[in-house]
């Protein structure tokens, strides 16, 4: 399974990248997952302003950077979004990038992890609704992985403190569980798509 780990913020000094690096390290330990970080900072696309909704526009003309973003998404079987919460929702840069999506996510699994002062829980709820609209199969994830004060336990290289990692009810086993679920759904859906 090729897994995109999508970094959903781009601001100078952002912390979401370190949570994504941490998730990538955990993904590297799961058999059958080939994970790659896809950083929205590498796709500085303009605000979406196409005349027709992308899925309903057979003669679509698309911005060149947005096209690269969609081509990148096409490479993957599954998606893990790593997001912060901005003003009770997802960062605008992620919403804009998702507005460009047409058929990339259809019948493929996706999951969300987050962080923020309130763990990013409200952003997760919004993001899962948005992803459903693009026909992604959003993996059910119970309470979800929403980390409060994430940078207290995960450093800039994506290493989690030993104490946090040892917590049997903490984010590490929860993300491992989520990654295994993504693999399960990806295998099932890939077979069904054939």
Chain positions contacting ligand FMN, by CB under 6 A: 9, 11, 14-16, 84-88, 116-118
Residue 112 near residue 129, CB atoms below 8 Å: no
In whole angstroms, what is the distance from residue 152 CA to residue 170 CA? 14
Where are the strands (E) in 8-56, listed by range?
A: 34-39
Q: What is the 8-class DSSP label of residue 86?
A: B
Alpha-carbon distance values, 153 to 7, 175, 193 (Å): 18, 15, 39
In whole angstroms, what is the distance from residue 12 CA to residue 90 CA? 17
């Amino acid at each position: 399974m090729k897994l995109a780990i999508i970094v959903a913020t781009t601001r100078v000094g952002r912390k979401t990248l370190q949570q994504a690096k941490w998730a990538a390290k955990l993904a590297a330990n799961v058999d059958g997952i080939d994970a790659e970080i896809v950083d929205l900072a590498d796709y500085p696309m303009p605000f979406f302003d196409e005349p027709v909704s992308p899925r309903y526009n057979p003669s679509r003309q698309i911005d060149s950077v947005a096209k690269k973003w969609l081509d990148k998404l096409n490479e993957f079987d599954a998606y893990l979004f790593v997001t912060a919460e901005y003003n009770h929702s997802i960062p605008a840069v992620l919403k804009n990038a998702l507005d460009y999506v047409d058929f990339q996510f259809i019948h493929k699994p996706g999951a969300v992890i987050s962080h923020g002062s309130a763990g990013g829980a409200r952003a997760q709820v919004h993001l899962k609704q948005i992803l459903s609209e693009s026909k992604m199969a959003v993996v059910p994830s119970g309470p979800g992985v929403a980390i409060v004060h994430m940078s207290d336990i995960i450093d800039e290289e994506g290493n989690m403190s030993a104490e946090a990692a040892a917590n049997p009810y903490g984010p590490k086993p929860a993300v491992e569980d989520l990654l295994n679920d993504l693999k399960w759904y990806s295998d099932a859906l890939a077979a069904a798509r054939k």
